[in-house]
Structure 1
Amino acid sequence: MTVLSAPSPAARERTLLWLLAAVQFTHVVDFMMLMPLGPLLMQRLGLSATRFGALVSAYTLASAAMGVLGVFWLDRLERKRTLLMLYAGFIASTLLCGAATGATGLLLARTVAGACAGLMGAVVIAIVSDVVPAERRGQAIGTVMTAYALSAVAGVPLGLGLANLGGWRSPFIVLAGLAGVVWLLLLRFLPRVDGHLSHASGAAAAAGFTPRLALGWGLTFTVVFASFLLIPYLGAFMVNNVGLSLTDLPWVYLVGGAATFVSSHWIGRMADRLGAARALALLLVATMAPHLLFTHLPPSPLPVVAVVFVLFMTLTSGRAIPTMALVASQVPPSLRGRYLAVNMAASDGASGLAAWMGGLLLSTAPDGTLIGFAQLGWLAVGISTLALGMLWTFVGRAVRLDVTPTP
């Protein structure tokens, strides 16, 4: 296994991280751009709202299901080969999305794309955790996760622009072409990552999935669940309750995405400096104020809304960085890929369940105003408090089980 320790050139590590960030960027854009394409797809393919909802959920559900199945094989292969194989499947299925002639073909292609994307994310984090030393791992994960912010800033607006110019198929075709270029760069520059294979054994696999490690999945679930109670409804709340126009909304998301892109690096460095557990605890507490402030926001001018939204998004999205660094650090390399695959499934399941629960708890007034969003903010704070308790239990059990007590 190649380890990028102090003597290794810093440029090599940066190249590796930005290549992995490019992988994340392509599959995040693939997931995110379908939602704003909804009106166009519903018109061109004759979809009902329910059938369009199935297109969106197929991606996440397939990702969660494949994450669970990844337990059985993901750590048995060299990681570069695994990533290239999954990424090739993602590229082919994205290309098939652009070639689909009807709703059924598009649904099948989206399902395959989601299945590949979920495991890709697990393999990417496993590679970072295997290759980058622990003292730089938080910042490295922060670099890779800037892909999410960059998707909001550049990927989705460009996708919508392509759809307006060339129809709904063109974003998928162009994205598949971009991913193809990234695949070739991975083939050329990604080192072989196989150190986990030398530690693999049946006994290690049996010992890997203990109640302590299952707490890591629960921690990820609660952190993501609290966020996605609110995130799917932010746009509707800003337009219908706070008073923004639809033309203001892209600018608010653009500013929020740009701020998140910058803050991801800072949060990664903070996780390295303070430790992932302490950084996550601080962020869980810090997000409670913007969650309550945003969900109780009265009609306000655009600059005020933008400031509150930036605070909300930078802190909320930043929680994923120390969460991922923490759970990855608790798992030996021989089990890391499988463990993170289930962790990704927990994240996908949490986002889907939280969005569904949020929709059940909200109602819409005749004028379009969302009713119950303030109460949803309090519920998100309660779930974040539960995540704090799980964090304390997870870290405490890790110390008690993994460190030999001093006589």
Structure 2
Amino acid sequence: MTRQERHLVWLLGAVQLTHTLDFMILMPLGPELIGKFNISAAEFGAMVSAYTLASAAMGLLGVLWLDRWDRKRALLLLYMGFIAATFSCGVANGPTWLLLSRTVAGACAGLMSAVVMAILADRVPAERRGRAIGTVMSSYGISAVGGVPLSLALANQWGFRTPFWAISALAGILWLLSWRILPAVDHHLTGARGKGPNAPAPLLSMPGLPLGWALTFSVVFAGFLLIPYLSTFMVGNLGLRLSDLPWIYLCGGAATLFTSRWIGALVDRHGPPRVLGILLVATLAPFLLFTHLPILPKAGVAALFVLFMTLTSGRAIPTIALITSRVPPALRGRYLAVNMAASDGASGLAAWTSGLFITTTPEGALVGFGPMGFLASSVSLLALCILWVLGRSAAPQRAAQT
């Protein structure tokens, strides 16, 4: 990777980190927000879901305009809206204000992710793109290892508003750096105005492109059938204490941080389809083992949790690398916006689906979590079938241009 590419990747990774942290920080602040604003658990749940639902809705709307602009300009505009909305969360004086602020932040963040990935695809050659995507996606691990604990420490010291102000301040600095350093990313506009192979075409008319959305949906859906209920299962069924969970999640975040770039390097070396296929098969073991786990020592539970999170989160890297390589630049922004909507919709729908089948005993144990492991494994096998069909479909010549 060249020096210019490294600077670009690290800058985009830092941008991604701010919105990942903004999404993650609300959930551990739940007890304080419920008490501060005197709201119910269901109302707090609405604040959490508003972020992803707004992101999904804006992803669909992004089809109408996202590829019509220089990607740098689009990113700066969306990032400015995100900063304002996150700062607004810090000054909210009621639940309605906070809900609206979270909605705007989610709407901007979803399209930001699509633009970030489109910039990576436009500026980093395909043979180095896997490592670049892995580096940017390591923001999840950084958030889990350092960002969330630091934000919670700020909240404990100065109140729930402080983390939102800190995130918006960091994002403001990154906005200035992006404005100053990020080059114009407008090659797709030149191609779109021409009559050559990069001329735009309807997204649904090109072979294999809708299959990319189906692949993303199935990969995310399988993971989120289980992820929202892992902490409840570990406490209610495996006998862990609530005080054990931060360390368990710290281990999972640290593992994700270190393996993201390694998985990205494997994608560059062996190709996205092969790496994704291996990860889809490999995740069957932790899906089935973890959901049927007997009571074990804390170290054993932590080890399986690390395996679960590493493999599950790692599947996104070859998925994004694969679909970006098949989309021509003139369609890439819009395509990835819809892809982000598919990802957000899959996470919400999967959590709701599991909730229909899982019940909780008076002691707090989950009933029905085991069958969800079989369902998640089945959906992963479905994703493997979609990957095979996607590989069989003829990629258009114009989609091969990177």
Same fold (TM over 0.5): yes
Counterpart of 2:253, as a letter, is G
Counterpart of 1:239, as a letter, is V
Counterpart of 1:293, as a letter, is L
Matched, 1:257 2:257: no
Counterpart of 1:257, as a letter, is G
Counterpart CA distance in 2 for 1:69 and 1:268 is: 30
Q: How does 1:177-216 map to 2 (within 5 A)?
A: 177-201=169-193, 204-210=199-205, 212-216=208-212
Counterpart CA distance in 2 for 1:259 and 1:152 is: 10
1:161-205 deviations in whole A, cap 9, x for unaligned? 111111111110111001111111111211111111111159833
**Unaligned residue ranges in structure 1 (runs of 5+):** 1-5
Counterpart CA distance in 2 for 1:354 and 1:221 is: 10
**Unaligned residue ranges in structure 2 (runs of 5+):** none
Partner of 1:292: 288
Cα contact 1:229–1:354 (8 A) shared by 2: yes
Partner of 1:167: 159
Q: How many residues align?
A: 394
Cα RMSD for the two superposed structures: 1.3
Matched, 1:44 2:36: yes
2:362 to 363, 366, 372: 366
Cα contact 1:330–1:398 (8 A) shared by 2: no
Q: How does 1:7-406 map to 2 (within 5 A)?
A: 10-201=2-193, 204-210=199-205, 212-399=208-395, 402=397
1:280-324 deviations in whole A, cap 9, x for unaligned? 000000000011111111111111011111111111000000000
TM-score, scaled to structure 2: 0.96
1:115-149 deviations in whole A, cap 9, x for unaligned? 00000000000000000001000111000000011
Counterpart of 2:21, as a letter, is V
TM-score, scaled to structure 1: 0.95
Counterpart of 1:157, as a letter, is P
Counterpart CA distance in 2 for 1:270 and 1:334 is: 28
TM superposition shift of 1:47: 0.8
TM superposition shift of 1:207: 3.9
TM superposition shift of 1:243: 1.1
Q: Which region of structure 1 is more displaced relative to structure 2, 334-343 or 12-21?
A: 12-21
TM superposition shift of 1:72: 0.7
Structure 1 residues 202, 39: CA separation in 2 closer, same or farther (over 3 Å shift)?
farther
Counterpart of 2:346, as a letter, is A
Q: Which region of structure 1 is more displaced relative to structure 2, 316-325 or 15-24?
A: 15-24
Counterpart CA distance in 2 for 1:15 and 1:57 is: 33
Counterpart of 1:197, as a letter, is L
1:351-404 deviations in whole A, cap 9, x for unaligned? 0000111111100011110011111101000000000011111121134x559x
Q: Which region of structure 1 is more displaced relative to structure 2, 159-168 or 201-210?
A: 201-210
Counterpart of 1:15, as a letter, is H
Q: Which region of structure 1 is more displaced relative to structure 2, 151-160 or 65-74?
A: 151-160
Counterpart CA distance in 2 for 1:238 and 1:348 is: 25
Structure 1 residues 71, 202: CA separation in 2 closer, same or farther (over 3 Å shift)?
farther
Counterpart CA distance in 2 for 1:277 and 1:189 is: 33
Counterpart CA distance in 1 for 2:228 and 2:27 is: 10
Partner of 1:3: none
Counterpart CA distance in 1 for 2:313 and 2:114 is: 18
Cα contact 1:208–1:331 (8 A) shared by 2: no
TM superposition shift of 1:154: 1.1
Counterpart CA distance in 2 for 1:26 and 1:77 is: 23
Counterpart of 1:205, as a letter, is P
Cα contact 1:86–1:117 (8 A) shared by 2: yes
